C-alpha cells in the first residue's frame, strides 16, 4: 500500500484552481520530485499535504490517517515534516534551540517537573539533546550550534531549515526548494545530504526543485505540474522526453 | 588546568552540564551573596523605604508575568493590571476564610482562568488586533467591578490583618513582613520562570512569537500555546495582585486601572522585553525615578512656580514619558542589555581572553 496518496485533489481560491484533480502516490523510501513552471501549484500541493491548506475537493491519506482536514501540528504528529521554501526559522534563538523546538512532541514531562527542572524534565531534555546533536553532526552544523539563526548566512539557514525538519524524525520529509539561491558547492552539499537522508534514515522524500539537472539525477520518480494539473509522471528519463513537459517548459512549436 | 571560579575554557563533558545556569563558583557565589544581601537589606532601611521596596518587588512579579505574555510569546497585553486586579479581588473575597499562604495561589489560579479566557481570541486574531482585545478586557474588568455591589463598586475593600505562626502583623512590622513574603514568593516564581523557559513550555512561547506557522509545523498547537501564555502570565499577575492587596491593606479599583497596565508595559520595555532580569530592573528604575521626581518637584516648586501652571505635578509624568522615549530610542533592549554587557565583560575576568 502506498505511504502517501493524494487523490483527485482540487484547491480553489475564489474562481482560480491552484490545483485541479491532482493524483500523487508515494511509496515508502522513494525520492519523489515535483517540478513545473512558476505558479504551477507545487507549493500549494505541499501546503495541502502538510495541512496549511485544506483541499476544496479530493482526499489525502498518509499511512491510514486522513490528512484532508487535519491541522499542521496533527499532521506533524503522524510523521510528516516540512522544510519551508522561504526560510521560516525561529530567528530569535540559536540553531540548537531551533532544533530542540522540533523535539517538542517528544519532550514529555509535566509543567511541575519543568518548573523545577528535575527528574523527567532534565532526563528528557538530555535524551532529546542527544538526538538533536546527531542531526547537527549529520548536517554538519557544529560550528553554528549556539549562533543566533537570524545572523547566519543564507546557505547555512537553508541547511538549518532541513536539519530542523529532520529533528522531527519524520517518516516523510517534504523539501520545498532546499537548493534555491545556493551556490554550486552548497547545492552539491545539499544533494549529498538528501541522498544520505534516504540511505541512512530510510525517510521518504518529496522534493520540489527547479534545478532539472539535480532532479533528473537523484529522483526515483518525477511529477510535472502545470496550471494545477499533473501533465506528466514517471521515471526522470521518460518525463524529460514527454512532449507535454517540453511544451510547458520551452513552449509549443507553433 | 581548570579554574572553577572563572570560565577559562569549555570543560563541559555532558549535555546535562551544558544546561547549568550558574556554571562557575563566582557565579554561584554572587547569587548567594545577592540573596543574603536581599534578606538583610531591611535592617538598613526605614519604614518609608520598605514601602517602596515592597512595591517594586510586587510590580516585579507582575512584570514577570507580562514578560511571559508580551516578552516571550509576543502577544501585546494592555490588560495586565486587570489580571492583577482579578487576583486582588479574589484575595479580598477569600482572605477572611483562608490563611494568606493559601490566598496567594488561589488568587493566581483565578487570574489564570481569566487569562485563559482572554487568550481565547488569540486563536483567531494576532498583533494589534489582539492587543485591542486585551484592552477590551481591561475596560470590561473596570466596568464590571464598578457595577458590582459585592465588590463595593470599586471602593475600598479592606483586607483582614494577617496572623502568621501566632505572630500578629501590625502597623510597625507590616512592610517588613510583606517584604519577606514577597521576596520568597518572587524568588520561587522567578526560579520556576527561568526553568520553564528552558523547557518545552518556554520554548513553545518563543516559537509562536518568532514564527507561528513554523511552530505549527513543529507539532505545537499555536492557539493552545497562546492561551497557555496568557494563563501563565495572568497567574503571576494574580499572585502579585493578592500581594498588592495585602500590602496596601485594601483593594481599590484605581490600583488596577488602564494606567497601571501601561505602566507595566513601560516597565517591561525599560527593563528589557523577554528577559528575566529586566523584570526586576524595569520596576526598580521607574519606581525610583518616580520617587525622586516627586522630591525634585517639591524643590522645583520652591524656585519656579508661575501662576496657573502646576510645574511641580507635571514633572513626574514628564520624567516617566521621557524615560520611555529615551529608552526606545537609545536602548530598545532595555537595562537588561547593560546587564548582559557587564556580565560578558566579567565572564573571563581577570583574564583578557
Q: Pull the grid cell for residue A83.
A: 522544510
Q: Pull the grid cell for residue B334.
A: 532595555
% of residues, chain A, pLDDT over 90: 58
pLDDT tens sequence across B142-154? 999 999 888 888 7
Contact residues, chain A, for B223 at CB < 8 Å: none
Domain count within chain B = 1
Q: By the CB < 8 Å criterion, does B329 face chain A?
A: no
CA–CA min distance A251, chain B (Å) = 37
ipTM computed for the complex: 0.85
Distance of alpha carbon A113 from alpha carbon B18, whole angstroms: 19
- Residues in contact with B111: Cβ distance below 8 Å, sequence separation at least 6, in sequence order: B83, B84, B86, B87, B90, B234, B235, B237, B238, B239, B241
- Domain CATH code at residue B314: 1.10.3470
Q: Kindly indicate the confidence band of residue A240, based on its pLDDT and cuts at 50, 70 and 90.
A: confident
Q: Does B5 map to a domain?
A: no
Between CA A163 and CA B119, with CA B198 as vertex, the angle to 5 degrees is 95
User: Can you tell me the mean pLDDT for B101-108?
Assistant: 94
Whole-structure pTM value: 0.89
CB B352 within 8 A of CB B345: no
Contact residues, chain A, for B211 at CB < 8 Å: 88-91
Q: Is the pLDDT of residue A114 over 60?
A: yes
Interface contact B219-A73, CB threshold 8 A = yes
Q: Does B7 map to a domain?
A: no
Q: What is the pLDDT of residue A150?
A: 87
Interface contact B211-A91, CB threshold 8 A = yes
Q: Does B329 map to a domain?
A: yes
Q: Does B264 map to a domain?
A: yes
Neighbours of B127 (CB within 10 A): 10
Domain A1-79+172-178+185-254 -> CATH class? alpha beta
Give the CA-trace dihedral at B55, B56, B59, B64, to 10 degrees: -150
Q: Does B18 map to a domain?
A: no
Q: Does B127 map to a domain?
A: yes
Q: Does B219 map to a domain?
A: yes
Interface contact B15-A73, CB threshold 8 A = no
Contact residues, chain B, for A129 at CB < 8 Å: 15, 18
CA–CA min distance B303, chain A (Å) = 50
Q: What is the pLDDT of residue A118?
A: 83
Between CA B252 and CA B259, with CA B258 as vertex, the angle to 5 degrees is 90
Which of B72, B212, B218 best tests the A interface by mutation, with the highest count of A CBs <10 A? B218
CA–CA min distance A114, chain B (Å) = 6
Q: Kindly indicate the confidence band of residue B207, based on its pLDDT and cuts at 50, 70 and 90.
A: very high
CA-to-CA separations, B95 to B161, B163, B166, B244, B256, in angstroms, rounded: 9, 12, 17, 13, 19
CA–CA min distance B214, chain A (Å) = 6
Phi, psi of B28 (to 5 degrees): -65, -40
Q: With CA atoms as reference, report the closest residue to A163 among A137, A188, A201.
A: A137
CB A133 within 8 A of CB B15: yes
Distance of alpha carbon A49 from alpha carbon A113, whole angstroms: 35
Q: By the CB < 8 Å criterion, does B251 face chain A?
A: no
Q: Does B77 map to a domain?
A: yes
Q: By the CB < 8 Å criterion, does B263 face chain A?
A: no
pLDDT tens sequence across A41-84? 899 999 999 999 999 999 999 999 999 999 999 999 999 999 99
Write down the domain spans for chain A.
1-79+172-178+185-254, 91-169
pLDDT tens sequence across B231-268? 999 999 999 999 999 999 999 999 999 999 999 999 99
Amino acid at each position: 500500500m502506498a505511504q502517501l496518496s493524494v487523490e483527485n485533489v482540487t484547491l480553489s481560491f475564489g474562481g482560480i484552481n491552484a490545483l485541479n484533480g491532482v493524483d500523487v502516490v508515494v511509496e515508502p523510501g522513494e525520492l519523489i520530485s515535483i517540478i513545473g513552471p512558476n505558479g504551477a501549484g507545487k507549493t500549494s500541493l505541499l501546503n495541502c499535504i502538510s495541512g496549511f491548506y485544506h483541499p476544496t475537493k479530493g482526499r489525502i491519506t498518509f499511512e491510514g490517517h486522513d490528512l484532508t482536514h487535519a491541522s499542521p501540528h496533527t499532521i506533524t504528529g503522524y510523521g510528516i515534516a516540512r522544510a519551508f521554501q522561504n526560510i521560516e526559522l525561529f530567528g530569535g534563538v540559536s540553531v540548537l534551540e531551533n532544533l530542540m523546538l522540533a523535539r517538542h512532541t517528544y519532550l514529555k514531562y509535566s509543567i511541575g517537573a519543568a518548573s523545577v527542572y528535575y527528574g523527567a524534565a532534565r532526563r528528557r531534555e538530555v535524551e532529546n539533546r542527544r538526538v538533536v546533536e546527531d542531526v547537527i553532526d549529520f548536517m554538519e552544523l557544529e560550528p553554528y550550534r549556539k549562533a543566533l539563526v537570524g545572523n547566519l548566512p543564507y546557505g547555512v539557514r537553508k541547511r538549518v531549515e532541513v536539519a530542523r525538519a529532520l529533528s522531527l524524525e519524520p517518516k516523510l520529509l517534504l523539501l520545498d526548494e532546499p537548493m534555491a539561491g545556493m551556490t554550486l558547492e552548497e547545492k552539491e552539499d545539499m544533494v549529498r545530504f538528501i541522498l544520505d537522508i534516504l540511505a541512512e534514515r530510510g525517510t521518504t522524500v518529496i522534493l520540489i526543485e527547479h534545478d532539472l539537472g539535480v532532479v533528473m539525477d537523484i529522483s526515483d520518480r518525477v511529477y510535472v505540474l502545470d496550471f494545477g494539473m499533473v501533465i506528466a509522471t514517471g521515471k526522470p528519463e521518460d518525463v524529460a522526453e514527454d512532449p507535454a513537459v517540453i511544451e510547458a517548459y520551452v513552449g509549443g512549436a507553433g | 588546568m581548570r579554574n572553577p571560579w572563572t570560565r577559562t575554557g569549555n570543560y563541559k563533558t555532558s549535555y546535562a552540564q551544558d544546561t547549568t545556569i550558574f556554571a562557575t563558583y563566582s557565579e554561584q557565589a554572587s547569587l548567594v551573596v545577592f540573596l543574603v544581601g536581599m534578606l538583610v537589606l531591611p535592617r538598613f532601611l526605614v519604614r518609608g523605604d520598605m514601602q517602596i521596596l515592597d512595591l517594586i518587588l510586587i510590580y516585579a512579579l507582575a512584570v514577570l508575568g507580562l514578560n511571559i505574555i508580551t516578552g516571550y510569546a509576543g502577544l501585546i497585553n494592555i490588560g495586565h493590571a486587570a489580571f492583577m486586579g482579578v487576583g486582588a479581588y479574589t484575595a479580598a473575597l477569600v482572605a477572611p476564610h483562608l490563611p494568606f499562604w493559601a490566598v496567594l495561589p488561589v488568587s493566581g489560579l483565578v487570574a489564570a482562568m481569566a487569562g485563559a479566557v482572554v487568550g481565547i481570541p488569540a486563536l483567531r486574531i494576532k498583533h494589534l488586533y489582539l492587543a485591542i482585545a486585551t484592552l477590551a478586557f481591561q475596560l470590561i474588568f473596570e466596568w464590571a467591578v464598578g457595577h458590582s455591589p459585592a465588590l463595593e463598586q470599586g471602593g475600598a475593600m479592606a483586607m483582614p490583618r494577617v496572623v502568621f505562626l501566632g505572630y500578629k502583623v501590625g502597623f510597625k512590622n507590616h512592610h517588613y513582613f510583606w517584604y519577606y513574603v514577597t521576596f520568597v514568593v518572587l524568588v520561587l516564581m522567578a526560579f520556576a520562570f527561568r526553568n520553564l523557559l528552558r523547557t518545552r513550555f518556554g520554548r513553545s512561547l518563543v516559537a509562536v512569537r518568532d514564527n507561528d506557522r513554523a511552530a505549527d509545523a513543529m507539532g505545537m498547537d499555536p492557539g493552545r500555546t497562546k492561551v497557555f501564555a496568557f494563563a501563565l502570565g495572568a497567574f503571576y499577575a494574580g499572585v502579585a495582585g493578592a500581594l498588592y492587596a495585602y500590602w496596601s491593606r485594601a483593594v481599590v479599583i484605581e490600583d488596577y486601572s488602564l494606567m497601571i497596565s501601561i505602566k507595566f508595559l513601560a516597565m517591561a520595555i525599560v527593563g528589557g522585553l523577554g528577559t528575566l532580569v529586566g523584570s526586576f530592573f524595569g520596576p526598580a528604575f521607574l519606581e525610583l525615578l518616580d520617587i525622586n521626581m516627586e522630591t525634585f518637584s517639591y524643590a522645583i516648586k520652591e524656585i519656579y512656580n508661575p501662576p496657573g501652571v502646576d510645574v511641580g505635578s507635571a514633572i513626574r509624568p514628564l520624567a516617566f514619558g521621557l524615560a520611555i522615549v529615551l529608552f526606545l530610542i537609545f536602548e530598545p533592549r532595555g537595562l537588561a542589555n547593560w546587564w548582559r554587557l557587564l556580565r560578558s565583560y566579567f565572564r573571563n575576568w581577570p583574564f583578557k581572553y
